[in-house]
Structure 1
């Protein structure tokens, strides 16, 4: 997708809004790299995912994304430095494995509601063995467990014994009378891992041992008494061995982690996408977005769409007025729209709304529009909007626009959306209009879906020269002298320059002279354009009514299909219940009949053969197959001249013709031949049925 167009349409601001709904840095990384897709299959899959996630949220469920962290970055850094991972780093890996397992179990429970997301979650790999290894070595808040190895357990036992022995000796020294008069305080301390007494400076020679430190005042010296020096040395050796063993254990576990680095990375990518999908669904729910239907033909049927950034501002309370929606169909019947109207009237907002809605859709997002919106997967969205002046490249505003348009013309196809703001502006109006019309001709020849805004009157008349080009305007209230921001299809707009000039204090005589000069030049042209506009507006109104009827028909067809599906499910359920009840009755009968059949085996030998035949006959009669199978067998056996019961007529009818390919029958009813479906006949004939 064109990077410049993403920039001028402010797609990055959409990413920023989406980021605020992400739960983890993993999802935020996915969002930072999010770009519209031009692959219809990939887009279809992405849209199904966000639809399922939104349905979960609407149903009161939520995707469990707690604990997701970037373990791949930590693993890669440690592996690259050829070092052991620390206990905290291993715990992070363990938490991430647990989080992936939670996601996997969650989607197993909602597989019917979320088949697409569940299929994705099933790709999370199994890391339970690695998790068990990590949990057997470290625990929160980053402690290596005693049971991590037999040697570590033994070293820590020895360390504890030595520490207890040293503490006991130190306690005796500070509480006994031997050094009582030489101590600054009747307590002991630890300095740099060595156990020391706090001795008065002038009594230093009375306490034999090693001097380790002095107080800031110099009145106290910290002496390690000779009574504990040997034990303290042993303790230091044990602690050193303990750290070496911990290092060995961590390195061993880290190597297990490094061996699974690629598999862990794959699981992390899947988890990141699931969190990203949850963020999409949360944004959809919070902002009231809707899913757009993906269509094959390059036609944009946009229904009451609102600028997504303005919608977000409105939702956040930073915008104090409603966002005016845009409704337009681009590609049927017209594929080019020329929008005119006053400055600050909403032309550029309408242009950006169309562009951003399409970009959001192709990024797998729901869109700020009404239900029924239909959008295609386009191969490109190209935009030239705003002041394109570039001092670094020595380009004027006009030159900047030209450079962009050249690039757009080179890339545009029949499956491209082209958005041009203020086409032909920034130069001589006559030349700008001529150049603008030529650009529109080129885009028309390429078949691109195009929306342009302009102030140039000549481009308004261009729309009347082509059947697939339409005028539009942004409405302006002449009473309040304020724009209403409403996009009106089929009606070219006026620039309202004189009205706006008067509103901003232009002297009345200047405005009157300007109006006099313009009226003489364009009076007849305005009359002609007005007549053409009335015809176009009437045609657009009829087309919109037809489109609304088509949409209403589609919705009713969808409802009918849902009702049919529910009826079929209900029928299947009733059949299953009936089969279950019949089976229960027959099994009960068989159970009740068994004692009597067994008793009959005591009859005289000559009658035993008859008893066996009776038992076999009962078993054959008790054996049953499913209703569905019996009905298929019944229908497969139908032939000409058979008599069948037809419930809709309440009669037994004779078959005149069987059309198996169409699953239809021709039957005789009261002397008249009627065509019916296989579904209209019953294989059960009521006792009181009459023949037709």
Structure 2
């Protein structure tokens, strides 16, 4: 029994964590996946890259990361995916479910890049360099007969070809012959001495799908025939002489037969797609999935990323970490040398880190880099860090970075931070990563310092990995005296 396309998608889509949306935004994860999305070839592939999110279990993460590694291996060999651009096709696949639906020629041709992509990907089947990708590709069908039928039946301009059916070829030969016969007869009429003085021009025209001759408006009664149109200036009447009217009727009848035969052909091809709808949908999903992997691989190659380890010990180690958005910004301004890589290690006996330093000293960038690398790793992506980077399997990441002043709710900067931190304290637990920028600032230093120490101690009690930045002396001293904290 075949699965419906929608159920195939539901079955194959990996489950993701409902990660804190506020955190995703302030860590600029949306900008990172948009950077990766530019490398996708297909429209649905780009959309899926942009919607990348952390996954639920280490096995899914490891599999995705491994598949990206295989794509990068193929890229290093100078090999291309062979995927061609196509737009979203799920709506068309849903649309053809009812038997009375017929797609037009352009809609039918829109499936060809999918079939071509599937066929090209089959070239990687059983390739020892990409055994994981090969497992996905082995189930791709390619539907060569449907592909051949569409190519034989519809040209690039969306016109049904003469070769689509023998009957259509016969009809079109009849149309061509009929048009030529009428034109020969009309050319003869244009040369008749009795007619020449009444003509506005000496050529055969077409009006309302009928071949006609242009006659001066004042002499339209001098050429016996049917009036089909008058020029915009009102000076020319377009007449179909009675002598060729029967031929015009025959031609019109043939054109009607042509339309019926074209419709029959489009209906037949739509039926072929309908019969294989589930399999085509399955191929579509797999091609898009590989396009996603290939796009992330190309993005990874651009930044020379590495595949991180995902551990269950709650340890975080980042070697030479960089934030992709900062890397892109500095690169655009030719200031790459200003990017200072981040090294950090925590989790084995030290669950919290306090980053100190002057304003504009890079503390905020460090927090965003830590958060971004964790989000990328948990999403199965490679990360902009060196080998040896390892990331804990987290359930959520919470961040309070930047000026959170709310005009709408009439909250001061300090009040907004406290509101956000209260929410973080409520939701955080073991398996959470908490990132707080300038903890305790915005109020009296002594009061802010005391409050910050209490917040940090509470996060430790809840078992969350915590990284905070500050320039408060009280918090610096607390980091040196409190077990499990490092500065």
Q: Name the structure 1 match of 2:49.
A: 31
Partner of 2:481: 465
Query: 1:649-688 residue pairs with structure 2 within 5 A?
Result: none
Alignment of 1:1-150 (within 5 A): 1-77=19-95, 83-104=101-122, 106-108=123-125, 111-150=127-166
What residue in structure 2 maps to residue 431 of structure 1? 447
Q: Which residue of 2 aligns with 1:284?
A: 300
Matches within 5 A, 1:411-422: 411-422=427-438
Equivalent-residue separation in structure 1 for 2:141 and 2:418 (angstroms): 52
CA distance in structure 2 between the aligned counterparts of 1:415 and 1:24, rounded to whole angstroms: 36
* Cα pair 1:53 1:114 within 8 Å, conserved: yes
Query: Tell me, what secondary structure is at the counterpart of 1:143?
Result: coil
Residue 587 (structure 1) aligns with: none
1:299-344 per-residue CA deviation (whole Å, 9 max, x = no partner) reads 1111121222111223334546420111110113422101122111
CA offsets 1:574-598 (integer angstroms, 9 cap, x no match):
xxxxxxxxxxxxxxxxxxxxxxxxx
- Alpha-carbon distance in structure 2 between the residues aligned to 1:411 and 1:123: 42
**C-alpha distance in 2 between matches for 1:442 and 1:310:** 32
Aligned mate of 1:163, from 179, 190, 194: 179
Residue 257 of structure 2 aligns to a residue whose secondary structure is helix
SS of 1:375's equivalent? strand
Residue by residue, what CA displacement relative to the aligned partner does 1:171-197 show, whole Å, maximum 9, x if unpaired? 211234342222222221111211111
Task: Tell me if structure 2 keeps the 8 A contact 1:68–1:99.
Answer: no
Q: Secondary structure at the match of 2:404?
A: coil
Q: Which residue of 2 aligns with 1:341?
A: 357
1:609-648 → structure 2 map (5 Å cutoff): none
Q: Could you tell me the TM-score, scaled by structure 2's length?
A: 0.90
- Give the deviation of 1:223 after TM superposition: 1.1
Contact 1:72 1:261 in 2 (8 A): no
- Kindly state the Cα deviation for residue 136 of structure 1 after the two structures are TM-superposed: 4.3
1:510-521 map, 5 Å: none
Structure 2 contact 99–271 (Cα < 8 Å) conserved = no
Do the aligned residues in 1 keep the contact of 2:84 with 2:114 (CA within 8 Å)? no
What SS does structure 2 have at the residue aligned with 1:144? coil
Return the match for 2:169 from 145, 149, 153: 153
Cα offsets for 1:60-97 (capped at 9, x unmatched): 22221224432223343565896311111111112311
Tell me which of 188, 201, 209 is aligned to 2:225. 209
Q: Give the TM-score of the pair, scaled to structure 1.
A: 0.65
1:482-541 deviation line (CA, Å, top 9, x unaligned): xxxxxxxxxxxxxxxxxxxxxxxxxxxxxxxxxxxxxxxxxxxxxxxxxxxxxxxxxxxx
Partner of 2:343: 327
Runs (4 or more) in structure 1 with deviation over 6 Å come to none
- Measure how far apart 1:126 and its partner are: 4.1
- Whether contact under 8 Å (2:199, 2:214) holds in the other structure is yes
CA contact (8 A) 2:321 2:369 kept: yes
CA 284–425 in structure 1, closer or farther in 2 if over 3 Å, else same:
same
Number of aligned residues:
469
Q: CA deviation at 1:266?
A: 2.1
Matched residue SS, 2:119: helix
Aligned equivalent of 2:458, options 439, 442, 462: 442
Task: Report the alpha carbon displacement of residue 257 of structure 1 after superposing the two structures with TM.
Answer: 1.7
Indicate if the aligned counterparts of 2:190 and 2:203 stay in contact, CA closer than 8 A: yes
CA distance in 1, matches of 2:67, 2:161: 42
Higher relative contact order (CA 8 A, sep 6+): 2
Give the deviation of 1:29 after TM superposition.
0.9
* Offset, 1:353: 0.9
**In terms of mean alpha carbon deviation, does 263-272 or 124-133 score higher?**
124-133
Whole-Å separation in 2 of the counterparts to 1:320 and 1:57? 25
Of 184, 192, 210, 2:200 maps to 184
The answer as to whether partners of 2:204 and 2:212 remain within 8 angstroms in 1 is yes
Deviation at 1:362, TM superposition (A): 1.4
- Counterpart of 1:379 in structure 2 is 395
Distance in 1 between residues matched to 2:275 and 2:417, nearest whole Å: 54
Distance across 1 between alignment mates of 2:328 and 2:321: 13
Matches within 5 A, 1:258-657: 258-317=274-333, 319=335, 321-471=337-487
- Cα offset, 1:421, TM superposition: 1.0
Q: Matches of 2:34 and 2:231 in 1, distance apart?
A: 56
Q: CA RMSD in A?
A: 2.1
In structure 2, the residue corresponding to 1:187 is in which secondary structure? coil
CA distance in 2, matches of 1:67, 1:352: 34
Equivalent pair of 1:124/1:267 in contact (CA under 8 Å): yes
- SS of the residue 1:314 aligns to: helix
SS at match of 1:453: strand
Larger radius of gyration: 1
SS in 2 for 1:297: coil
CA–CA separation in structure 2 for the residues paired with 1:59 and 1:172? 68
Look up the SS of the partner of 2:125 in the other structure: helix
Q: Is the 8 A contact 2:41 2:85 kept in 1?
A: no
Instruction: Tell me how far apart the structure 2 counterparts of residues 393 and 244 of structure 1 sit (CA, whole Å).
Output: 65
1:364 deviation in Å? 2.0
Residues 80 and 351 of structure 1, relative CA distance in 2, 3 Å threshold = farther
CA deviations on 1:46-71 (whole Å, 9 max, x unpaired) are 11011111111122222212244322
Kept after mapping to 1: 8 A contact 2:229/2:238: yes
Q: Is the 8 A contact 2:114 2:287 kept in 1?
A: no
| Structure 2 contact 183–204 (Cα < 8 Å) conserved | no
Alpha-carbon separation, structure 2, partners of 1:64 and 1:252: 29
Q: Shift of the alpha carbon at 1:367?
A: 1.6
